[in-house]
Chains A and B, each alone.
Chain A
């Protein structure tokens, strides 16, 4: 990925007028790129987003993680004013978002849902439209084409692009006017592994070197875990948990995975033997906080006439934590 030097160094200069912020949250504005208070969206009987309070600090990468249908896209739509909240407030870059809000979006780049473009126009022409609408300088199109490695496709009609290249075009559109805040809904969608690594590197560089705030949603934990400074886990419209990098690491737990004949009997046996946290998963046992007691565990199982087919020490990653929070594997 080419260097993102086209961005002005906004890291030290991200203050904005504290106008029209959320009532009672004025103190947040100078340091906060996105703030929501009791943000709610209801579609008839479906509560898509439920009293969401979010604070995304300027210059950080915030991963908004949730399963499909958790309320991520609905939240992003409300952040951008695409849909109106049923309740609560949204503040973006110190300005409250409401019907008619437009100026602040000159500082925001975004990608929501599927990548789309005018199919009869070329990549360059699609970007030129965005350039005019965001008042970006004339050279911005060529720069972002280079940044997103779209040079060979620049004069190809968007309608014939692959999904991955459409995604690149949409990312280019989001980046074109050097935004201070990027709101990206599933940015890795349709990208190949190399493309994912490229975009990850670009976003990291934008945040660390240019102070760009990145708010990105994903249902793929690994995608945000590699990148985000903080992660918010959303489920059924509610923010279940927010974790920073240290807390993310602290979530990693060790357990001993045991393949054993008669796992049900084995689980009872181990619980009776004082192993406090035993779970069954995929026909195996997961015994937590037991890494110091593996020989004792093995003796207890063999002594009871059970056959051990597998015994391994496993580090539980954030994915397991995420699944546990959001109700396990479907």
Chain B
């Protein structure tokens, strides 16, 4: 039955503007970084064009591949975490916003299949976005002719971006649960923003490696001292958050009142 449910979850995305919107949003990341790199490299021309030359120079950026990759990881890590929350909020919350949740609940298909299928769709969607944006990033970086490229650097950058994306994904079932409890888009988006803010707060404390939403920012160096590998404790926290999110979402759909 999972296969049929999974197919229907993909079919629901037909003609959906949201898929293209998320691709456009994430694609803007590398373009934004490239613009900053160009401003750093060409401050005079940037100033002539009225761009933010002064601010870009003050940020201490250098127009090199290492700096470009570093910012890219930030974009995929922090921006991506929000975007993924948006995707999950859409996939789960739309059933309530569009009033179709009730049509899923009395069928010869266990409700847990819907939760699992939606999470797999989110994973595929997210993976396509991340891969597309990484490909775009390499193309833009090459077009800019940035210095300092090496295969080792590229592998490391891709590894970091994919790991940040994977950790962000593992936190997403909790967002799905909030979408179910809140029956729509806004509660999960509010939750994601709140967790991002809390992640920043916790990252300045000794609790950073234990708070799920601090782990991505810490790993990509968005806050505090960047960690190069995830602590075993952090991995356990993330894994438990993932499993708890799935269990809570399934329980919500199975046991809670689902009237709209």
Contact = CB atoms under 8 A, between A and B. Distances in A.
B100 interface: yes
A105 B102 contact: no
A106 B14 contact: no
Interface range on chain A: under 10, 10 to 19, 20 to 34, or 35 or more?
35 or more
Interface of B is mostly: loop
A116 B102 contact: yes
B12 A118 contact: yes
A128 interface: yes
Report which residue of B12, B107, B257 has the largest number of chain A beta carbons within 10 angstroms of its beta carbon. B107
B259 A77 contact: yes
A82 B11 contact: no
B102 A125 contact: no
Contacts of B259: 74, 77, 82-83
A114 B99 contact: yes
B103 interface: yes
A83 B111 CA distance: 13
A132 interface: yes
A133 B5 contact: yes
A133 B106 contact: no
B110 A102 contact: yes
Interface range on chain B: under 10, 10 to 19, 20 to 34, or 35 or more?
20 to 34
A73 B179 CA distance: 24
B106 A129 contact: no
Contacts of A112: 102
A100 B254 contact: yes
A74 B258 CA distance: 11
Given A112-B102, A116-B100, A133-B8, 13 more contacts: A77-B259, A80-B106, A82-B258, A100-B111, A102-B107, A102-B108, A103-B108, A116-B99, A118-B12, A121-B14, A129-B11, A129-B12, A133-B107
A149 interface: no
Contacts of A119: 98
A99 interface: yes
B255 A120 contact: no
A211 B31 CA distance: 64
14 contacts: A80-B106, A99-B254, A99-B255, A100-B111, A102-B110, A102-B111, A105-B107, A116-B100, A129-B12, A132-B4, A132-B5, A132-B8, A133-B107, A134-B107
Nearest to B254: A99
B228 interface: no
B65 to A, nearest CB: 41
Interface in B1-54: 4-5, 7-8, 11-12, 14-16
A143 to B, nearest CB: 19
Interface in B50-98: 98
Interface string B220-259: 0000000000000000000000000000000000111111
A121 B11 contact: yes
B105 interface: yes
A84 interface: yes
A41 to B, nearest CB: 9
A157 interface: yes
